[in-house]
């Protein structure tokens, strides 16, 4: 998660800097993980209160261990449970809607809980294209895994319709083209692969020998033993206000 935060900080910072609200009373980081994005949200927008919410007890425990005193963290299902504070002014999420099924349900829930003119800031992936076939194959498998659970790896391509149907009006929608080093991406993907390879569906649907080979190849790229060029990542960034 630290590597992910570092790799995507520049474009995330740019999105936050374009927020039409500065120094809001309350800003919420939805799906905050261990708090890296929450710290960036606080640094850029300087809210009165900055609150990170995540369903993972493990992530929130880590965030609390490392937190700065001005940040708050709660274990919370950001779709099913009401926010711990009433009517936040800013809601921010990065790489969260891709893991939610269906994402429109979450967007609708957030609209109902935000302040009357609440701002929603979103960063999600539209596409990933790698120069190295190993990384491309990883994306194919992850896409199949997420599809099985009703999730969308490339949810960014669906966001404009989902947002407008969920109680939000779009202020700005940008397709941002990002060029990321294959080695850095392989570091992220290797950690993820070693997590989801033991998933029950993955064990049934994917060839274990191929997964072993993918693990080995990603490790070679991540270590620098093999070059992998770049990954072209199209991202969708949306700024919306509550309808």
* pLDDT value, residue 169: 97
How is the chain split into domains, by residue range?
2-242
Is residue 87 within 8 Å of residue 207, measured between CB atoms? no
How much is the pLDDT for 91? Answer: 98
Q: 2-242 has which fold?
A: Rossmann fold (3.40.50)
- Whole-angstrom Cα distance, residue 33 to residue 30? 9
Residue pointed to by tokens 């926010």? 83
User: Residue 117 in contact with residue 55, Cβ under 8 Å?
Assistant: no
Contacts of 145 (CB under 8 A, 6+ apart): 196, 199, 201, 202, 205
Check residue 68 and give its pLDDT.
Answer: 82
Task: Identify the pLDDT of residue 165.
Answer: 96
Handedness of CA 104, 109, 115, 121 (dihedral sign): negative
pLDDT for the residue numbered 1: 78
Rounded to the nearest angstrom, the gap between the alpha carbon of residue 88 and the centroid of all alpha carbons in its chain is: 20
Burial 32-70 (b: 16+ CB within 10 A, else e): bbbbbbbbbbbebbebebbbbbbeeeebbebbbeebeee
β-bridge pairing 119-130 and 230-242 = antiparallel
**How high is the mean pLDDT in each 10-residue block of the chain (243 residues)?**
90 97 97 96 97 96 89 94 93 97 95 96 98 98 97 97 97 98 97 96 97 98 97 98 92
């Amino acid at each position: 998660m630290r590597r992910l935060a570092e790799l995507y900080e520049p474009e995330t910072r740019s999105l936050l800097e374009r927020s039409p609200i500065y120094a809001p009373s309350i800003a919420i980081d939805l799906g905050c993980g261990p708090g890296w994005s929450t710290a960036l949200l606080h640094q850029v927008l300087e809210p009165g209160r900055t609150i990170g919410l995540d369903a993972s007890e493990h992530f929130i425990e880590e965030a609390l261990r490392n937190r700065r005193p001005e940040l708050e963290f709660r274990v919370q299902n950001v779709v099913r449970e009401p926010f711990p504070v009433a009517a936040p002014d800013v809601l921010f999420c990065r790489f969260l809607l891709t893991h939610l099924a269906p994402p429109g349900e979450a967007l609708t829930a957030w609209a109902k809980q935000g302040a009357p003119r609440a701002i929603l800031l979103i960063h999600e992936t539209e596409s990933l294209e790698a120069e190295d076939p190993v990384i491309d194959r990883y994306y194919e498998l992850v896409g199949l895994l997420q599809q099985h659970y009703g999730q969308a790896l490339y949810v960014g391509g669906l966001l404009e319709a989902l947002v407008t149907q969920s109680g939000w009006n779009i202020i700005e929608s940008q397709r941002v083209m990002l060029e990321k080093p294959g080695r850095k991406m392989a570091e992220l993907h290797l950690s993820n692969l070693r997590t989801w390879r033991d998933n029950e569906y993955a064990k049934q649907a994917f060839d274990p020998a191929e997964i072993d080979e993918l693990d080995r190849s990603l490790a070679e790229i991540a270590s620098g033993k093999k070059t992998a060029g770049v990954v072209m990542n199209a991202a969708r960034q949306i700024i919306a206000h509550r309808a």
